Amino acid sequence: MSSKTPYLSALLEVLPHAYASDAITLLQAPHTAQLVDTLLRLTCPSGSAPSYPSSMLSAVASSSSQKRKRTPSPAASTSKKPKPTDDDDPPLYTLHALSVTAPVRKKLDITLHTHTLRLTHPSTGAIEASFPRPALRRAFLLPTRGKSKPHWTVVLMSADTPPLPKAKNAAPTAGGAPVFQVVFGVDAVPTAAFRTTAHPAPPTEHAKASATHAPLRAFLAHLPAACALLEPATCVPAYRGAKDAGLWFLRSGVLGETPYEFFALGDLLQDEESGREAVRVVSATGRLCSVVITRKPEDEEEEGEETEFGMIDGKEMGGIKEWVRVHKAEFGKAAGGKDGAGKGKGEEEDQDGKVDSEDEDSDFEVSSDEEDGGSPSSSSDESGSGGKQSGSASANESDEEGGGGESGDEEDEDEEKLDPKHHPLMRPGAVPRMSRAAMDAAVGMVVGDMMGGADSGEDEDDDELDN
């Protein structure tokens, strides 16, 4: 072979001798060696293509057609679900480049589509997370706690209970419905311009120092009709474990923070027979208290799950107890829409369930004479030889002396009227009110007993007469 056919020459050198000799014999025809070398190169030589006999080209084409054709591999994307497109899931409203804290922590575009809620990268448009829009059950527009300037937090929930910890994206429940939370926030009056888009209109640029409440409400207006939108105003600072949390008391339930969890009135466990309370306020000193909320179990044979919020200022106890008193009749009763689950998106609860922070520690103090209208303090002499209490003493005080006191029948009637369930000492943390006059009368009686009472006075009179 010549230097014009380097590929063919290299091939002949590695072929067995018997095959190489036959190949050389076949390649003696003109242009045959160059044609085979060109086929090995899979390209034509530079310049004009050489002319080969038509019979040779026909033979080469016939031999190549007899080779087995390569079977195409199946498409790799057939096993994956196609990504949603704007054609079958058009966007409705977008909040651009807001700080998201759940399910991821970064600045993202939040868009409500017809079928999905998408979190996308502001620059690339890559989808960071996507959730079914019809699965949204509750939405909260909250004033953010702990910020140096006014700030809004939006919480979107698909279930009242939070998703499992460390769950990637949404975690399905036993029924197959996804459990997810989307939490994001924005300054009430941002120092920089921000954008929103009400599709299909072009983006709207809001100048700096523009209030964000109206755009947030416009976004939330595109929630599904079954999603309840709640906008409370008052929060009770608390701790959940070691994390700073908060409690929002609403007409339809209680919202707890970190993670966000909603306790609907109809989902609370209230068992009057066993004495278990759905919302229990516990305090040892009165300065701090804890709120224990008990949720109904899925299985009636199981005990309810308790969630405790602690380190609450004692001044909040009065308002919390009042909220419990007002809504206690609705605990555990899933009346139509009472728990807020079926409430429409337009039925907000502005400033509802506001907890009164007035201090009710007066129950733990001794009332003065001016406060309870009692008479001035009475001495042991004024109480009389029969040991009767002054008329200003409380009706709940008993006559321990017994001399000239009320009859036993009247005492029995008083005991029958005092139901143990309504006894002041049976209430958690309660102490009966006692006027100062009653205390002085009681002390006077005790002192009289110690000094010998009326009998002691008669002996002294006899001694004076003897003298």
3-state SS record for 321-365: HHHHHHHHHHCCCCCCCCCCCCCCCCCCCCCCCCCCCCCCHHHHC
62 versus 238: which is more confidently predicted? 238
* Whether pTM exceeds 0.75: no
The pLDDT of 420-449, averaged and rounded, is: 62
The model's confidence at residue 91, banded by pLDDT at 50, 70 and 90, is very high
Give the best-scoring range by mean pLDDT among 22-36, 67-81, 148-162, 335-349. Answer: 148-162
Distance of alpha carbon 130 from alpha carbon 68, whole angstroms:
46
Cα(284)–Cα(215) distance, rounded to whole angstroms?
A: 46
HEC profile for 86-128? CCCCCEEEEEEEEEEEECCCEEEEEEEECCEEEEECCCCCCEE
Do the bridges between strand 243-249 and strand 288-295 make them parallel or antiparallel, or are there none, so unpaired? Answer: unpaired
**Is the bond preceding residue 103 a cis peptide, omega within 30 degrees?**
yes
Q: Which residue has the higher pLDDT, 377 or 54?
A: 54
Average pLDDT, the chain: 73
Which residue ranges form the domains of the chain, and what is each CATH number? 6-57 (no CATH), 87-224 (2.30.29.150), 366-466 (no CATH)
Residue 93 pLDDT: 98
Question: How far apart (Å, rounded) are the C-alpha atoms in residues 342 and 335?
Answer: 11
Q: Is residue 72 classed exposed, middle or buried when 0-12, 13-18 and 19+ CB atoms within 10 A define those classes?
A: exposed
